[in-house]
Amino acid sequence: MKIVTYNLNGIRARLPRLVEYLDEQKPDVLCLQEIKCDDDAFPIMDVRAAGYDGLWHGQKGFNGVAILTPAAAPPTPRRVGLPGDPDDTHSRYLEAEVNGIVVASLYLPNGNPVGTEKFAYKLAWMDRLRAHAQELLAEEKPTILAGDWNVIPTDDPDDVFSARAMAHDALMQPESRQAFRRILNLGFTDAIRARTPEGQVYTFWDYTAGCWQRDAGFRIDHLLLSAQAADRLFDAGVDKDYRGREKASDHAPTWVEIEG
């Protein structure tokens, strides 16, 4: 099973890229982030025309997540929204079960600028995610937390083109990394680093300043696997070439191959 996370940066602007990806890669599960559309505006007819179906949790203009699967194997909904704060209005979390695997599509807050309420919201959201992830692990099922985590795990050039250039970014702060590690340390496996312990793996390249052309990227899209999912981990990688296509998202699809 190929399970993919892809921050689209707008599903309408990216519809040709999305359909092309479904046709070419035929993912078994495609987790989307930043669809940036209301529930009513989700282009489900285009998705169905490509042979897929799914669940979505939209929001007008910002955020928004979805989980797509081949129409013959639809996802069973489990949860819309992250628990822990009834006042949170952002559409950033969607959870379903597909072929016995629990899959979450998550879009973690960016958190910039550091020192503002946006950064506090990021850390609070990560704390809620940790609490929920702990409950998921207690089910002892194969579980995959897939999404745009908006955290660069280390200063290593394998993870970021320039730690110095990004030093003051919310993606790089010690608090952001600690919150990420606290979730990892519950017992999850970072699939990309399990398969590529050393070596540059980037999933995002900024539109500005020629970042793509000079390969100035970083790694923020992650798939975290429970032990039962990690047992079945066959491979993990990034479909980097989609970042170089016309009207591309600034993220590349990031995937795991799970046995069975």
Partner DNA sequence: ATGCCTCGCACAGCGAGA
The residues of the shown chain that bind DNA, judged by CB under 7 A, are 7, 9-13, 34, 36-38, 60-62, 109-110, 112, 118, 148, 150, 169, 171, 204, 206-209, 218, 220, 247, 250
65-70, strands of its sheet edge to edge: 52-57, 65-70, 29-33, 2-7, 254-258, 233-238
Q: Which is nearer to DNA, 218 or 242 (CB)?
A: 218
Q: Which is nearer to DNA, 16 or 83 (CB)?
A: 16
Q: Which is nearer to DNA, 239 or 250 (CB)?
A: 250
How far apart are CB 197 and DNA at their closest, in Å? 23
Please name the residue ranges forming H helices in the chain.
Answer: 15-25, 44-49, 117-138, 174-184, 191-195, 227-230
Please name the residue ranges forming H helices in 35-154.
Answer: 44-49, 117-138
Q: Which among 194, 212, 195 has a CA at the least distance from the CA of 203?
A: 212
How far apart are CB 97 and DNA at their closest, in Å? 26
Q: Which is nearer to DNA, 17 or 101 (CB)?
A: 17
How far apart are CB 12 and DNA at their closest, in Å? 4
Residue 87 identity (one-letter amino acid): D
How far apart are CB 172 and DNA at their closest, in Å? 10
Q: Which is nearer to DNA, 51 or 61 (CB)?
A: 61
Q: How far apart are CA 204 and CA 163, in angstroms?
A: 15
Residue 18 identity (one-letter amino acid): L
Contacts of 30 (CB under 8 A, 6+ apart): 4, 6, 21, 22, 52, 54, 67, 68, 69
Question: Hey, is 21 helix, strand or coil?
Answer: helix
Residue 168 identity (one-letter amino acid): H
How far apart are CB 208 and DNA at their closest, in Å? 4
How far apart are CB 139 and DNA at their closest, in Å? 29
Q: Which is nearer to DNA, 112 or 228 (CB)?
A: 112
**End-to-end CA distance of the chain, in Å?**
6
